[in-house]
Amino acid sequence: MNIKFSKRSDTIEASEIRELLKLIGNNNIISFGGGLPSEETFPVEEMKVICNEILSDHGGKSMQYSTSEGYDKLRKIIIEIMRERGINTDIDNILIISGSQQGLDLTAKAFIDEGDTIICESPTYLSAINAFKPFYPKFEEIFIDNEGLDPEVLEEKLKNSKNVKFLYTIPDFQNPTGVTLSFERRKSIIELANKYNILIVEDSPYSELNFTGQYLPSLKSLDTEERVIYLSTFSKIVCPGFRIGWICASKEIIKKFVLFRQGSDLHTNIFSQMQITKFFEKYDVKAHIEKNIAIYKNRRDAMLNAIKADFPKEVKYTEPNGGFFLWVTLPTYMDSKDLLKCALKNGIAFISGEAFFPNGGHKNTLRLNYTNINEAKIREGIKILSNVIKENMLPNN
């Protein structure tokens, strides 16, 4: 049968991350690959109580169709979360979505025409690239340093690029590098967005998972002209399986997003929305998040200490102050995909770096996740990975 797929489908490729997730349950593999939160942090016992209460209180309504905008009680909770993050908003600025990944899909559908320019950090979140690519944009990459993307480079891109629709950025504990955008650069980026009349898509899944206790203001909190489309999620602070995220944006943008989402999933799972709502109403969520932070910080420390002890000096790496990931840069002659093949033979998985660059290249990079493995396994895995790296380095290096 000759199946006639759309031209758009040619842009879709299998995600290396999704393929490696299949290895997570393999006891013979130590996986630094997927960006999974630890199941130890999931509120399983609390959810047993909550599920019974929802069914008792709401019965069949908890299983019924619901509004596209989201469950109002949860939207009001999100308003309070946003206020704690320095963002004053109201219910009409909030759209509950099926994970913040849906926010990227809606953004692409609402804003990208073929040939438009998207400016993004480089490297950047792989699934954002995959959400945008089917709409045939041109990606302008800004390589990041230890303070994030450089506003001077951004201004050059804005001066010299045509049809720039938005800047996509992950300011806090960026995926895949773990880097955080500095405060001065945040202010400059907002000023440039105002000057050049562009939108900013601020992806903020990790901001609560801060290991230092020193929080920087979001771009959205600095936004005075409603240019920032803010995406966030409960996946990292509660659990990912419920698929509950949200968008905070201007009312005009939210209305447009609602129309697009009605053509896909109609609304987010209402039972899951009620579960998250009850969790915030009944339990100390701040204490829950602090517990998560303690677990992840210990694992970050274990990975960094092991890397410092075992990796060759030619290998460079980031030192994140929160989030899920750190980024490794190998000598330029090395290819992390070839290294991955050798690592898998030795029971180690990671994500090779090239997929995180919209226009390809940079084969000597890789991403490591530390949140879903205990400290002993992290130390064991880094020791093995270090040996694999050394075996694949050129002599005299």
pLDDT band for position 393 (cuts 50, 70, 90): confident
DSSP 291-335: HHHHHHHHHHHHHHHHHHHHS-TT-EE---SBSSEEEEE--TT--
pLDDT at position 20 is 62
Separation CA 149–CA 180 (nearest Å): 9
Separation CA 215–CA 208 (nearest Å): 9
DSSP 23-76: TTT-TT-EE--S-PPPGGGS-HHHHHHHHHHHHHHHGGGGGS---SS--HHHHH
32-69 pLDDT tens trace: 998 999 999 999 999 999 999 999 999 999 999 999 99
pLDDT at position 13 is 72
Q: How far is CA 228 from CA 154, 261, 378, in A?
A: 16, 19, 37
Sheet holding 325-329, edge to edge: 316-317, 325-329, 365-369, 351-352
Q: Which of 7-16, 145-154, 291-300, 376-385 has the lowest mean pLDDT?
A: 7-16
Q: Give the mean pLDDT of 110-125.
A: 98
Tokens of 52: 């019974």
pLDDT at position 105 is 97
User: Other C-beta atoms within 10 Å of 396: how many?
Assistant: 4
Place of tokens 């490794």: 328
Separation CA 367–CA 317 (nearest Å): 10
No. of helices (H) and no. of strands (E), the chain: 13, 13
Tokens of 332: 């330029």
| Sign for the pseudo-dihedral over CA of 312, 318, 321, 326 | negative
For the chain, which domains are there? Answer: 7-43+287-392 (3.90.1150.10), 44-282 (3.40.640.10)
Averaged pLDDT of the chain:
95
Tokens of 33: 């690959």
316-366 pLDDT tens trace: 999 999 999 999 999 999 999 999 999 999 999 999 999 999 999 899 999
Phi, psi of 122 (to 5 degrees): -135, 115
pLDDT band for position 27 (cuts 50, 70, 90): confident
For residue 282, pLDDT over 90 is answered with yes
CB distance 154 to 119 below 8 Å? yes
pTM here?
0.94
Separation CA 274–CA 291 (nearest Å): 23
186-245 pLDDT tens trace: 999 999 999 999 999 999 999 999 999 999 999 999 999 999 999 999 999 999 999 999
79 by DSSP, 3-state: which?
Answer: helix
pLDDT at position 395 is 74
Q: What residues are paired with 367 via a beta bridge?
A: 327, 351
Separation CA 210–CA 203 (nearest Å): 15
Percentages helix, strand, coil for the chain, rounded to the nearest 5? 45, 15, 40
Q: Give the mean pLDDT of 92-109.
A: 97
User: Other C-beta atoms within 10 Å of 14: how many?
Assistant: 7
pLDDT band for position 263 (cuts 50, 70, 90): very high
Q: Give the mean pLDDT of 162-179.
A: 98
